[in-house]
Amino acid sequence: MSEVDDMEEHAARIALLQAPGTVMLGHDLDEDTALALLGERFPGRQFCLVRNWIWIDLDSPDDVREELSDMRLQPVMLYGDVVADSLGRFDKGDWLRSTPLIAFTQGCFFETRDTVYALLGHGERKRAALSSMVKIFRSAKERL
């Protein structure tokens, strides 16, 4: 990644973190309970436990929203601090940006094509431009 890319990524992350948001009430699951629920409800799926998470509703052009819908994806991404990662892609305390949402279940499981994220504790809901989120490169998929 070039120095310009690094600066754009940093600026996009700061803008997201400083943007106003609305509190989203989450679950007070402990790590062991979250791991047990993931194993029961999503056997064999890779997963991440995250805290200090942000649910990001994406602002995007209608044609992009339609394309996401055609792929059965929702215009939502997740940003958060890693607690645990089943594949070791991230260390505890790293941050991540997910790919678009497929399903949100039980009020705490954020499912993408490749990963199920267990949202621990309360988070925030914010809006951001898709173009800004694309600048935040460090997604789970890109770490593989």
Query: What pLDDT, in 10s, does the model give residues 63-104?
Result: 989 999 999 999 999 999 999 999 999 999 999 999 999 999
- If one counts every other C-beta atom within 10 angstroms of the C-beta of residue 3, the result is 7
Reply yes or no on whether the pLDDT at 47 is more than 90: yes
* Structural domains counted in the chain: 1
Query: pTM value?
Result: 0.85
Interatomic CA distance for residues 84 and 90, integer angstroms: 8
Interatomic CA distance for residues 139 and 126, integer angstroms: 18
Query: What pLDDT, in 10s, does the model give residues 15-30?
Result: 777 778 899 988 889 9
Residue at 74: amino acid letter: Q
Domain that holds residue 52: 3-143
